């Protein structure tokens, strides 16, 4: 067994690997970028080494820097986690050349499965069913468009080297194909350095089911049951569970046999995931699933497999990389109860799930039986714009699916994230959605139910604003109470004192930057604060910070701050003509020029954040009067991108 490990990753997966490694007696070595010098994974490890600037392309993706750190630390092995270099064959080869064990599959298996087109050809040869489509080398746009037409719409455009939903587009009609292809290729190039794509038939009621497999260097390969990852948004997983609802023992054996055949076909070693698309219409069937891809690494959702098997998959990875045989045979793999995982992100569901960055003013997770929380941040840390905005994974395990979902939903309700916005409330509502609870769902479930899941603008939460105003008032009264130098005079009272009539005052505040007026009625029992006639919500959680009060209610955050009544109201007054960056990101392209006439809905620019593209469109008809940014520039959330002068009405 190894004595030391360098963890070539960051965030919650680096912390999770470090905990198992330390339990096994390994010396743990972290690496960090300039943005991560005080990160939790650095603090958890025995030692840490700097590897470059904040952008991943200059640090966590630089093979030479990581190998140099491993040599300096005298590491026996390198664990890549997931993401970054975890599926990079050149990195595995560099580890071998440096005499350092790579905790993962051999480079040949990575290459065989790393490109979707080659992987599908290999699976067809091995007798594993694959989705109909075009998986060839021809990348001419007209040719691909013709192939899509022949396959029949809807189709999926998928990056050959892709994963995590990047470089993927669903196309429902031929007229939309060219624009979708352009976007998929551009996103694939940015995320993977490879713009090539393939075209597949889109299954209309798809369930995403994957098999966790393990193989050793002695020719053994088994599966550790399946996970259902069908709850997705933009082809990225949101909630995962094990076992899959509706999965029979016979189908599990059939799908598991296909997964282990896939592993053996590419000479696999270590932990991997074989992902299948299943036709969910009418229930899961033995002839209704097809190979999609194989992830040659540990998956984000591996904790649900650990929960139902009682196994530590990271420990298995270390042991197999050290040359040991698989600890279990297929007939000894357990299935105990049900587990569900939710990915808690710093993002805003009401604004298209845009990433939300900044300091975590408050961060608290509940504890309890059957609940596990994996995180890479603590209160006071910052969610940086350079990396995936995951805050934590909450995993619930119970005797039944309903019990696990109840535990998870209740835990999400009690989770406190203040500063960046989060999807906690959205996840809680998802766990409680009737159709999902009844097993009636597929990969399009979230997109079809955005309104009921409140993943749309909700407007002002007056009861939350009242709670924030009440906290601001309490702070003001507390400051007066401790001011020992203040003169004692009834005219200095802050309780709305007057000689007759009800004592009412107004408190001008802002709610998420917009002007609001709170009403304060001073009763004998104390002040009562209302906004738009609503009193402060009793279930709201108010957290004071230097820049105001953050109020959490039903997982939704509202920032309330005092407003100077003598200043102009906050907000934009250009009739929708001010185009702002919705999040921190990089300007990939600008499609208009100063002086150009534009129409409502016209594409203006593209901003990339977290390797995903976000298109900015015109909110009004008008003329571009100013362009404040240039292509490839970094912009902050709320920064001005351009101005549109409204078109004058016709006489």
What is the residue-wise DSSP string for 430-465?
HHH-HHHHTT---TTHHHHTTTTTT-S-----HHHH
Residue 571 has pLDDT above 80, yes or no: no
More confident residue, 648 or 650: 648
Q: What is the pLDDT of residue 649?
A: 64
Q: How far apart are CA 413 and CA 556, in angstroms?
A: 10
Edge-to-edge order in the sheet of strand 101-102: 47-52, 27-33, 4-7, 77-79, 101-102
Counts of helices then strands in the chain (DSSP H, E): 16, 38
Half-sphere exposure for 257 (CA within 13 Å, toward CB): 8
Strand 578-580 relative to strand 585-590, pairing: unpaired
For the entire predicted model, the pTM comes to 0.83
Q: How do residues 323-348 score in pLDDT, each as one tens digit?
A: 999 999 999 999 999 999 999 999 99
pLDDT at 573: 39
pLDDT value of position 166? 84
Q: Which of 108-122, 149-163, 539-553 shows the lowest per-residue confidence on average (mean pLDDT)?
A: 108-122
The predicted pLDDT at position 191 comes to 84
- Domains parsed from the chain with CATH numbers: 4-103 (3.40.50.20), 132-201 (3.30.1490.20), 206-448 (3.30.470.20), 462-481+501-562 (no CATH), 578-646 (2.40.50.100)
pLDDT tens string 615-644? 899 989 999 999 999 998 888 777 889 999
Confidence of residue 610 (pLDDT cuts 50, 70, 90): low
pLDDT of 572: 40
Task: Give the mean pLDDT of 17-21.
Answer: 98
- Is 477 annotated as catalytic? no
How would residue 124 be classed by pLDDT, with cut points 50, 70 and 90?
Answer: confident
DSSP one-letter code for 492: G
pLDDT of residue 524: 81
Residues 459-488 have pLDDT tens digits of 999 999 999 999 999 888 887 766 545 554
Q: Whole-number mean pLDDT of the chain?
A: 91
Residues 6+ apart with CB under 8 A from 212: 223, 224, 225, 226, 227, 271, 272, 273, 299, 302, 305, 313
Annotated catalytic residue: which of 10, 207, 297, 470?
297
Query: pLDDT confidence of 207, banded at 50, 70, 90?
Result: very high
Q: Token digits for 30?
A: 């972290």
Q: What is the mean pLDDT of residues 276-295?
A: 91
C-alpha 644/C-alpha 647 separation (Å) is 9
Angle of the 63-73 helix axis to the 89-97 helix axis, nearest 10 = 30
pLDDT (tens digit per residue) in 420-461: 999 999 999 999 999 999 999 999 999 999 999 999 999 999
CA angle 348, 376, 242 (to 5 degrees): 80
Q: Name the 3-class secondary structure at 218.
A: coil
411: its two tokens: 């835990």
The SS3 of residue 125 is helix
Dist CA 257 CA 251 (whole Å): 10
269: which DSSP letter?
-
């Amino acid at each position: 067994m190894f004595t030391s490990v360098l963890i070539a990753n960051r965030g919650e997966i680096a912390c999770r690997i470090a905990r198992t490694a330390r339990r096994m007696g390994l010396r743990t070595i972290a690496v960090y970028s300039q943005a991560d010098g005080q990160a939790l994974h650095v603090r958890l490890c025995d030692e840490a080494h700097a590897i470059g600037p904040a952008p991943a392309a200059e640090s966590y993706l630089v093979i030479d820097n990581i190998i140099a750190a491993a040599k300096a630390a005298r590491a026996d092995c390198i664990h890549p986690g997931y993401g970054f270099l975890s599926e990079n064959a050149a990195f595995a080869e560099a580890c071998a050349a440096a005499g350092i064990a790579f905790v993962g599959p051999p480079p040949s298996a990575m290459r065989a499965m790393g490109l979707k087109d080659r992987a599908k050809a290999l699976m067809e040869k091995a007798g594993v069913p694959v989705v109909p489509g075009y998986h060839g080398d021809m990348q001419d746009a007209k040719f691909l468009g013709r192939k899509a037409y022949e396959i029949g719409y809807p189709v999926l455009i998928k990056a050959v080297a892709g994963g995590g939903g990047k470089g993927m587009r669903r196309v429902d009609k031929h007229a939309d194909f060219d624009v979708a292809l352009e976007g998929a290729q551009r996103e694939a190039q940015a995320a993977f350095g490879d713009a090539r794509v393939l075209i597949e038939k889109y299954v209309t009621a798809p369930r995403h089911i994957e098999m966790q497999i393990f193989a050793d260097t002695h020719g053994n390969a088994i599966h550790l049951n399946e996970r259902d990852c069908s709850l997705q948004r933009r082809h990225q997983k949101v909630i995962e569970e094990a076992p899959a609802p509706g999965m029979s023992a016979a189908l599990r054996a059939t799908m598991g046999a296909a997964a282990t055949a896939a592993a053996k076909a590419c000479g696999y070693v270590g932990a991997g995931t074989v992902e299948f698309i299943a036709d969910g219409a009418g229930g899961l069937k033995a002839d209704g699933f097809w190979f999609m891809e194989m992830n040659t690494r540990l998956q984000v959702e591996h904790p649900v497999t650990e929960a139902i098997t009682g196994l530590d998959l990271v420990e298995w990875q270390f042991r197999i990389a050290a040359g040991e045989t698989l600890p279990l045979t297929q007939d000894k793999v357990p299935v105990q109860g049900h587990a569900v995982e939710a990915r808690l992100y710093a993002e805003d569901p009401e604004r298209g799930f845009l990433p939300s960055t900044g300091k975590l003013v408050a961060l608290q997770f509940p504890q309890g039986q059957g609940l596990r929380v994996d995180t890479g941040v603590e209160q006071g840390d910052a969610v940086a714009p350079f990396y995936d905005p995951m805050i934590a994974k909450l995993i619930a395990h119970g005797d039944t699916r309903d019990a696990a979902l109840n535990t998870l939903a209740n835990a999400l309700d009690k989770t406190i994230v203040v500063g960046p916005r989060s999807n906690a409330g959205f996840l809680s509502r998802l766990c409680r959605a009737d159709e999902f609870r009844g097993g009636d769902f597929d990969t399009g479930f979230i997109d079809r139910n955005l309104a009921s899941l409140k993943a749309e603008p909700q407007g002002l939460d007056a009861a939350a604003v009242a709670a924030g105003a009440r906290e601001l008032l309490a702070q003001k009264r507390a400051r007066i109470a401790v001011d020992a130098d203040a003169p004692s005079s009834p005219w200095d009272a802050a309780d709305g004192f007057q000689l007759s009539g009800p004592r009412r005052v107004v408190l001008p505040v802002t709610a998420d930057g917009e002007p609001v007026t709170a009403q304060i009625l001073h009763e004998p029992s104390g002040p009562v604060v209302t906004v738009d006639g609503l009193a402060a919500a009793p279930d709201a959680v108010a957290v004071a910070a230097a820049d105001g009060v953050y109020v959490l209610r039903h997982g939704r955050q509202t920032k309330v701050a005092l407003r100077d009544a003598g200043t102009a109201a906050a907000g934009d007054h250009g009739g929708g003509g001010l185009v702002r960056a919705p999040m921190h990101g990089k300007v990939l392209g600008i499609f208009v020029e100063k002086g150009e006439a534009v129409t409502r809905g016209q594409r203006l620019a593209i901003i990339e954040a977290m390797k995903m593209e976000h298109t900015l469109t015109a909110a009004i008809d008008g003329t571009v009067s100013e362009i404040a940014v240039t292509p490839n520039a970094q912009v902050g959330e709320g920064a001005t991108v351009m101005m549109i002068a409204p078109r004058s009405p016709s006489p």
